[in-house]
Amino acid sequence: MPLEVRAGRVSIDPRDPRFYSDPYPAYAALREAGPLVHWDELGYPCLTRHADVNAALRDRRLGRQILHVATREELGWAPPSPTLAPFLAFEEHSLLELEPPRHTRLRSFVNTAFLPRRVDHLRPRIAALAHALLDEIPRDSEFDLLERYATPIPVLVIADFLGVPREQAPQLLAWSHDMVAIYQVRRGPDVERRTVAATQEFSAYIRELIARKRREPADDFLSHLVDARDAQGERMSEDELVTTAILLLNAGHEATVHAIGNGVLALLRASRNPAREFLARPAEHCEEMLRFDAPLHLFTRFALCDMELAGRRFAKGERVGLLLAAANRDPERFAEPERFDPTRSPNPHLSFGAGIHVCVGAPLARLELQVALEVLFERLPRLALAAEPRWRDTWHFHGLEALHLRG
C-alpha cells in the first residue's frame, strides 16, 4: 500500500485490509523514516526500532498507567465515558494496568505460578488434549486449524489451571472476545456496551466460583489465590481476586490462539518439509514463529515525568506507542529479518514484552505452542495449506479469521 512519512508523521488506517493483512512493509518504511514516527490515526508517536522499543519497555520513567501520578484535569483529559465506568472499575485492580507499588504486590501473587518448572508438569495434559482434538477431525479431510485446534487448546488449558469447569469454555471465549474488543482502534458505543456487559457477567460468575473455592478448595490456582498472602501477610481483596482471575483467563488464551495460527502459517509458507524441520528443532521454531509474526503488535506507555525519548521531548502524561512487531523485524538486530529462520541464535524478539510488565504467562504460552505443534506435526506430517487464509480486522491482535489445512 502507498505510504508516505512526511516530517516524522504518517497516516495509516489500521483497519485497511492492505495494511493489517501484511503490516510488515509499512513497519519497514516506518523504521527507515526514523526511530519515532507520529501515527495520525493513533494520535501519538510510535517507537519503531528494536533498541528503542526494548529500552522503553524497561524504562521506569514510562508507565502503563498515568492516573497514579496525575489527575485527569491536570492532563486535560475529558471525563471517562459513563457507560464504561464498570469496566474501568474492574481495570483498577488489573496488574496489567497498574504501576508499582500496586503492580509489584499483585504480580507477586502470580509471579511464580507460571515459571517453566511449575508449568512443565502440564505437558502430558496438553498433549492428551491435543490428541483428543485431532481424533475428532475426520481423516483426509480439510479442517480449520483455528476453530478445531488453536482456539480450544489455550482456553481449556487455562481453565483447568485456574479450576474453571471445562464446560464453561465457550462462555469464557465469548466474554473474553467482548472484553478485549475495547482495545481496538476506532470503536463505537456498541463495543463499549458489549464490553461492560461481558465484564459484569464474567465478574459475577467468578465471584460465585470464588465462593465455591472458599467452601471446597481444590488443587487449582484459584483455590490457591483465595488463600495466598503477600509479603505483608495480607490476602487479595475480593475485587483483586476477580480481576486477576479474569485477566489470567483472557490473557491466557487470546494471544496463544494466534501464536499457533500465525506460526503454522509462517512455517508452511517458509518450508518444503515443515513437519520434519519443526520436529527436529521445536523450541527454536517456536521462538522464530513468535518473532516472525507475533500476535500482539502494539502496546503503549505514558511518560511519568517530563523526559526525552529517541531524541524528542515528552511532557508528563504524553503517550508513546511501542511497535513490538516492527522491532522484531529490525535489520539492525536480526540478520535478514524478513526470512523465517529457526536457526537464528540468539533470538531476542520482543513478542512477550520486557521489563516489569513482561508476560507472566510466557513459559505457559511457549509450552502450549510447542506441545500443540509437536502433536500436530507428528500426527499430520503432510500438513499443507488448503486455502489462502484471510486476516482478521483487529490489527494489534494480529491473527487469522481461519486457517484451512489438509492433513
Residues that bind ligand HEM (CB under 6 A): 64, 95-96, 107, 114, 158, 247-248, 251-252, 255-256, 259, 294-296, 299, 351-353, 357, 359-361, 364-365
Please state, in angstroms and rounded to a whole number, the distance separating the CA atoms of residues 359 and 44: 24
Task: Return d(Cα 377, Cα 207) in angstroms, integer.
Answer: 40
Specify the residue, 37 or 158, whose C-beta has the smaller distance to ligand HEM: 158
| DSSP per residue, 114-153 | T-HHHHGGGHHHHHHHHHHHHHTSPTT-EEEHIIIIITHH
Crossing angle (nearest 10°) for helices 282-292 and 362-379: 110
CB of 158 to ligand HEM, least distance (A): 6
**Residues forming beta bridges with residue 314, ordered by sequence position:** 307
Smaller CB separation from ligand HEM, 265 or 360: 360
Least separation in angstroms between CB 5 and ligand HEM? 25
Question: Is the Cβ of residue 95 or residue 137 nearer to ligand HEM in the bound state?
Answer: 95
What crossing angle do the helices spanning 362-379 and 152-162 adopt, rounded to 10°? Answer: 130
Shortest distance, position 307 Cβ to ligand HEM, whole Å: 18
Determine contact, residues 376/261, Cβ cutoff 8 Å.
no
Which residue, 196 or 255, has its beta carbon nearer to ligand HEM? 255
* Short-list 337, 356, 358, 357, CA closest to 347: 337
Residue whose C-beta lies closest to ligand HEM:
361
Taking the complex as a whole, how short is the minimal distance between the CB of residue 296 and ligand HEM, in angstroms? 5
Nearer to ligand HEM among residue 19 and residue 183 (C-beta): 183
How far apart (Å, rounded) are the C-alpha atoms in residues 310 and 330? 16
Rounded to the nearest 5°, which phi and psi values hold at 70? -155, 150
Give me the least distance between CB of 8 and ligand HEM, in Å please. 24
Of the pair 96, 209, the CB lying nearest ligand HEM is at 96
Could you give the angle at which helices 189-215 and 238-270 cross, rounded to 10 degrees? 110
Residue 229 in grid coordinates: 498472602
Minimum distance of ligand HEM from residue 378's CB (angstroms): 21
How far is Cα of residue 97 from the mean position of the Cα atoms in its chain? 14
Query: Which residue matches cell numbers 516530517?
Result: 7
Query: In the bound complex, what is the minimum distance in angstroms from residue 239's beta carbon to ligand HEM?
Result: 16
Nearest residue (CB) to ligand HEM, 115 versus 384: 115
If the CB atoms of residues 194 and 357 are measured against ligand HEM, the closer one turns out to be 357
| Residue 105 burial class via C-beta count within 10 angstroms: exposed 0-12, middle 13-18, buried 19 and up | middle
Cβ–Cβ under 8 Å, residues 31 and 50: no
- On the CB side of 91, CA atoms within 13 Å amount to 18
**How would you class 313 by CB atoms within 10 Å of its CB: exposed for 0-12, middle for 13-18, buried for 19 or more?**
exposed
Judged by DSSP in three states, 384 sits in strand
Q: How far is the CB of 24 from ligand HEM (least distance, A)?
A: 17
Nearer residue to ligand HEM within complex by CB, 36 or 260:
260
Minimal distance, residue 178 CB to ligand HEM, in Å: 18
| For ligand HEM, the closer CB: 295 or 337 | 295
- Minimum distance from residue 102 beta carbon to ligand HEM (Å): 11
CA gap 202, 91 in Å, rounded: 13
Please report, to the nearest 10 degrees, the dihedral formed by the alpha carbons of residues 363, 366, 371, 373 taken in order: 170
Q: Looking at beta carbons only, is 290 or 405 nearer to ligand HEM?
A: 290
Q: Phi and psi of 391, rounded to 5°?
A: -90, 150
Work out how close the CB of 247 gets to ligand HEM at its nearest, in angstroms, rounded to a whole number: 5
